Structure 1
């Protein structure tokens, strides 16, 4: 009798976030599942801004768990850990977790005497992608491990310094508020200038001079940006606003590497309409997004506003900025003028480019329990995990061929929406629903859909009917999007139509079409 080689047999793809089989309890008492160390670190990393308090874990506890996992895996699985850290700082766009992780990677491997896998120097260099980050890594190392900085850390930082230091970066990031100035870092790591950048030797010397002899330091003639900046700074205060309003003022400010923050201090007065309009052309897309309210309050012209709108909604600019989708929701909530609504809606859509258009019927469950509302996603945001969950769930439902969108907490309810409706408008219909009864929500709303996707922190309360994923037939895929990185999952993961992914960007959605095409899903840096 044929048991396996039959027409209806289907491949069972696997995913990388994997359960061990050991049973744990969620923070709310539900029957949870332990994940292996790599899965635990991945989910924690992609949802962690470092030192951020969450509903169930203090910032210190999360940091300790993160550091412990990195140190363990740096020794037992260095290739995978190095890949995670580089990806976190790159596509993952999580600066602090990558910097902290690289420091702990090096410390653990030096203590263990490990020499296999990627070099400590290479890992340090890979996570430093912005000119202020060498100072961030040094500050973390010395605060945690003292002023004796090992050679691999120094050499990795020196590699990054050669890549990152320029006249513009010095003006923007080498400020008196920093514990480690550019000159301090150069003294410590002894970075040699890049031989292919003839101007860099002069720049390094100027960084040292302005750190140790600021009153007499002169910018090198080889660096036009620094010379132009010095000329602007030498102008009497009463003459500076005339530069802003003059023909060629926009170009002059840009040539001098003047950010909007620098212009505000340089003028020693309000950022009025003329000041904003002079610096807007040289601002980056996310600086524009964060200042929409300021533009309105200053009364920038409709012509300039149209230029801003075009830039912040440009698909290439959005992709290049690699900003999380919830940044656009925050801007939408705080911008007072309706002229920004449609551009922000477009930008949000572009930031969700990886959300697939799923065929068939899809049940999307969005966790709106109290724990999802408790803490901000980051120090720079007023938004929380409940907001992020609503963005991802709504985007998925709007693009799917036929979707049921449900919010849940202690109770649950189905949300109505129309095809082609704005994500931002649908978000206004979500509420705060208290506790976390995920199981009851699945039982109430699963009606034979082709797949179930749950966006949650997984900390469901105990239910006499069992776990959430048990309520769906084994041959129906259940995808859990974990937004908090807690240790216990609400169900098994990795195989058998049960898969977990995580993070605060739309990149994780790439897994769904792969798995439904019966293809295994790898870690994002290996895919």
Structure 2
């Protein structure tokens, strides 16, 4: 298995090169969890061989997000046992001191019960996914590694995280104003923001919930009213609005009688990724014209698209989900703006796309748009002309109306790289050995059911599944291969 091979390579990796590779993997690629797994394997290998130094620094270097320490410690316990060596403990403690603050606590230490869906976990390994242990809560991490607080406020934060983990919170320290406001202990009076608080904010059990969570509970209640714009503005100033709006139970609310009317005032304020993910539901629910215009304006806004970091495939999924034609101009414009999130590829690229799947077509067209020079060919068919600066969704419409039945076999040797985007391919295409070949497969399958006739190598790479993160793989792969061949 590739994962076992990766772990074994890191366990015996050269200490002069492995730290830089792991740091690059964590910072410059979307492969966050593999970087944590690799750092743990590197540390375990050095400890087994009795080698000292470097482990603490490597562990700390890959922990860049506040939930990374919990993920790494959970993985270490699952793979290497509950005993935590001092270098690993100190590396995690360094990261905790650097990463843990009020915003991180509210964003990542959510206090959920971590419910598991067994059928989902059972399905992941079968289709090429990996099972990951549940991350440790902030309080568990603090208890295990004993980090040194950088100031009194962080010391209070550590103690609060421990009390919160054990369900023994009595009061929130005054040094944690953001946490106090979230918990409703330091809320401003209604007169301060120009309107009374929503009627659901203090009535019944909702009054005992954390402050902003009253919004969610109130929206669920039949008598709940939408919060005034001033209250949303207050949440945004406190840094809560995006978190609360992204966590709204949208599917549940739309299914309840009167839920659309209570949810509709909030829809234009939702994060762009949430808007795209639920656009079909909003359209079916029949949101009003003004709300739809506000949503369409945000989807087509280049600044919004750049700030959200969404890619062309997210817009393609929304395009496929909605049936009303009113969304097409906005989605096409947003998909064109999202091309800026696709890395630029130098040289000449050939993209071979197997038809009959819109995701494959949009991926191939978006990739070609971001190449210095590119040709797009239908698998077993003809060439498809690329128009500069065209939206991939407009290109999708042209694809379905183009006559690509006449085969036009390309000369692979003319290209700097060849990319196949297919359902599956068992044999290796007849591409010269000195031309890099990348194959993306969209068919879900089990390794037991299907094994390719060739394996990946520096110039032959195979990937399964498509997503917006897939666009970054080719430049990262070529950068790594070039560095490896130059001996850097």
Same fold per TM (> 0.5)? yes
Question: Match for residue 48 of structure 1?
Answer: none
Aligned with 1:405: secondary structure?
strand
Establish whether residue 405 from structure 1 lines up as the match of residue 370 from structure 2: no
Question: Match for residue 99 of structure 2?
Answer: 164
Task: Please show how residues 216-227 of structure 1 align to structure 2 within 5 Å.
Answer: 216-227=169-180
Among residues 471, 481, 495, which one is paired with 2:438 in the alignment? Answer: 481
Q: How far does the alpha carbon of each residue in 1:372-430 deviate from its partner, in whole angstroms, 9 at most, with x for none? A: x9xxxxxxxxxxxx98875554235446687432233xxx2224235244323445788
Distance between the aligned counterparts of 1:171 and 1:155, measured in 2? 24
Query: 1:366, 1:390 within 8 Å by CA — same for their partners in 2?
Result: no
CA spacing shift, 1:291–1:447, aligned 2, 3 Å: closer
Query: 1:310, 1:343 within 8 Å by CA — same for their partners in 2?
Result: no
CA spacing shift, 1:460–1:507, aligned 2, 3 Å: closer
Question: Match for residue 139 of structure 1?
Answer: 74
What TM-score does the superposition give when structure 2 sets the normalisation length? 0.67
Task: Please show how residues 298-337 of structure 1 align to structure 2 within 5 Å.
Answer: 326-335=313-322
Distance between the aligned counterparts of 2:31 and 2:399, measured in 1? 27
Q: How far does the alpha carbon of each residue in 1:105-132 deviate from its partner, in whole angstroms, 9 at most, with x for none? A: 111111122346xx22222222222222
Query: 1:88, 1:98 within 8 Å by CA — same for their partners in 2?
Result: yes
Among residues 354, 371, 377, which one is paired with 2:344 in the alignment? Answer: 354
Among residues 11, 15, 21, which one is paired with 1:71 in the alignment? Answer: 11
Query: 1:389, 1:455 within 8 Å by CA — same for their partners in 2?
Result: no
Task: Please show how residues 65-464 of structure 1 align to structure 2 within 5 Å.
Answer: 65-73=5-13, 77-115=14-52, 119-174=54-109, 175-178=111-114, 180-195=136-151, 198-214=152-168, 216-231=169-184, 235-236=202-203, 240-241=218-219, 244-254=226-236, 255=238, 257=240, 258-260=243-245, 262-264=247-249, 272=260, 274-275=262-263, 277-278=265-266, 281=269, 284-296=271-283, 326-335=313-322, 338-339=326-327, 340-356=330-346, 362=348, 364-366=350-352, 368=354, 390-391=361-362, 393-398=364-369, 403-408=374-379, 412-420=380-388, 421-427=390-396, 444-446=409-411, 449=414, 451=416, 453-455=418-420, 461=427
CA spacing shift, 1:399–1:71, aligned 2, 3 Å: closer
Q: How far does the alpha carbon of each residue in 1:51-74 deviate from its partner, in whole angstroms, 9 at most, with x for none? A: xxxxxxxxxx2321221222232x
CA spacing shift, 1:329–1:124, aligned 2, 3 Å: farther
Question: Match for residue 29 of structure 1?
Answer: none
Aligned with 1:504: secondary structure?
helix
CA spacing shift, 1:213–1:453, aligned 2, 3 Å: closer
CA spacing shift, 1:341–1:415, aligned 2, 3 Å: farther
Query: 1:259, 1:279 within 8 Å by CA — same for their partners in 2?
Result: no
Cα-Cα RMSD: 4.5
Q: Would you tell me which structure has more helix in proportion to its own residues?
A: 2
Distance between the aligned counterparts of 1:217 and 1:298, measured in 2? 43
CA spacing shift, 1:492–1:523, aligned 2, 3 Å: closer
Task: Quote how far apart the aligned CAs of 1:260 are.
Answer: 2.8
Query: For this pair of structures, how many residues does the alignment match?
Result: 405
Query: 2:97, 2:149 within 8 Å by CA — same for their partners in 1?
Result: yes
Distance between the aligned counterparts of 2:177 and 2:245, measured in 1? 19
Distance between the aligned counterparts of 1:273 and 1:523, measured in 2? 58
Aligned with 2:483: secondary structure?
coil
Distance between the aligned counterparts of 1:422 and 1:186, measured in 2? 48
Task: Quote how far apart the aligned CAs of 1:347 are.
Answer: 4.0
What TM-score does the superposition give when structure 1 sets the normalisation length? 0.62
Task: Quote how far apart the aligned CAs of 1:161 are.
Answer: 1.9
**Larger RCO (CA within 8 A; separation ≥ 6):** 1
Any gaps of 5 or more consecutive residues in structure 2? 115-133, 188-199, 208-217, 401-406, 442-451, 464-468
